[in-house]
Amino acid sequence: MIIVNGDRNGCESADSVYIKVEDIPLVTLPVDTVICKGNDIELNANAGLQYLWESNEAFDTLSNNKIIFRNAKKSIIVKLTGTNGLCSATDEMAINVKDPLNIPIALSFSGEMIPGIRFPIMLNLPSYSFKIKLAIEYDSTSGIIESHSIKSGSVIAKQFPSRTGEYLLDIENTKQESAIIELQLNPLLPHDVRTSNTYKLKLAEQDMNCADVQLQDCTIPYMPGCAWTYRPINALPTYQCIIIENMIHLRSAFNETMHCRITTIDGRTIHDEQITMRSGEQYFVKLPPMNIGMYAITLQGQYWNQTLLYPKTDK
Q: List, for residues 128-179, the tens digit of each pLDDT value.
A: 767 788 888 877 666 778 889 999 988 899 888 777 778 888 888 888 888 9
Tell me the DSSP string of 158-225.
Answer: EEE---TTEEEEEEEETT---EEEEEEEEEPPPSS----SEEEEEEEEEEESSEEEEEE-EEEEBPTT
Check which CATH number belongs to the domain holding 297 and give it: 2.60.40.3080
- pLDDT surpassing 80 at residue 66: yes
User: Is the Cα dihedral 233, 236, 239, 242 positive or negative?
Assistant: positive
Are 189 and 244 in contact, with CB atoms under 8 Å apart? no
Computed over every residue of the chain, the mean pLDDT equals 79
pLDDT confidence band for 223 (50 / 70 / 90):
low
In a domain, 25, yes or no: yes
Tell me the DSSP string of 32-77.
Answer: PEEEETT--EEEE--TTSEEEEEESS--EEEETTEEEE-S--S-EE
In a domain, 231, yes or no: no
Predicted local confidence at residue 245, as pLDDT = 79
Tell whether 74 and 129 lie within a shared domain.
no
Q: What is the dihedral of CA 159, 160, 162, 165, to 10 degrees?
A: 0
Check which CATH number belongs to the domain holding 83 and give it: 2.60.40.10
Residue 107: C-alpha distances to residues 32, 40, 140, 176 (Å):
35, 32, 18, 19
Are 126 and 104 in contact, with CB atoms under 8 Å apart? yes
Please give the residue that has the higher pLDDT: either 1 or 305.
305
Domain that holds residue 18: 1-99
Domain boundary among 99, 114, 135: 99
Task: Determine the average pLDDT of the residues in 46-75.
Answer: 90
Tell whether 16 and 55 lie within a shared domain.
yes
State the Cα–Cα distance between residues 151 and 73, nearest whole angstrom: 39
Tell whether 280 and 251 lie within a shared domain.
yes
Tell whether 144 and 170 lie within a shared domain.
yes
Tell whether 251 and 149 lie within a shared domain.
no
Sequence-distant (≥ 6) Cβ neighbours of residue 146 within 8 angstroms = 118, 184, 185, 186
CA 282 to chain centre: 30
In a domain, 288, yes or no: yes
In a domain, 229, yes or no: no
Please give the residue that has the higher pLDDT: either 43 or 256.
43
Task: Determine the average pLDDT of the residues in 12-34.
Answer: 81
Find, among 108, 87, 311, 86, the residue nearest to 215 by Cα: 108
pLDDT confidence band for 208 (50 / 70 / 90):
low
Tell whether 30 and 132 lie within a shared domain.
no
In a domain, 114, yes or no: yes
Please give the residue that has the higher pLDDT: either 172 or 116.
172
Predicted local confidence at residue 129, as pLDDT = 67
State the Cα–Cα distance between residues 135 and 154, nearest whole angstrom: 20
Domain boundary among 42, 68, 99: 99
State the Cα–Cα distance between residues 60 and 65, nearest whole angstrom: 12
Tell whether 277 and 190 lie within a shared domain.
no
Check which CATH number belongs to the domain holding 114 and give it: 2.60.40.680
**∠ CA 91-95-97, rounded to 5°:** 170
Tell whether 108 and 177 lie within a shared domain.
yes
pLDDT confidence band for 232 (50 / 70 / 90):
very low
Tell whether 129 and 67 lie within a shared domain.
no
Number of domains in the chain: 3
Tell whether 19 and 83 lie within a shared domain.
yes
How crowded is residue 36: how many other Cβ atoms within 10 Å of its Cβ? 16
Q: Label each residue of 73-90 as H, E or C.
A: CCCEEEEEEEECCCCEEE
In a domain, 192, yes or no: yes
In a domain, 2, yes or no: yes
Predicted local confidence at residue 22, as pLDDT = 77
Tell whether 62 and 130 lie within a shared domain.
no
Tell whether 74 and 92 lie within a shared domain.
yes
In a domain, 228, yes or no: no
Task: Determine the average pLDDT of the residues in 244-266.
Answer: 83
Q: Are strands 211-216 and 101-108 parallel, antiparallel or unpaired?
A: parallel
State the Cα–Cα distance between residues 140 and 198, nearest whole angstrom: 14
Domain boundary among 68, 99, 130: 99
Sheet of strand 101-108: strand arrangement:
143-152, 179-187, 119-125, 101-108, 211-216
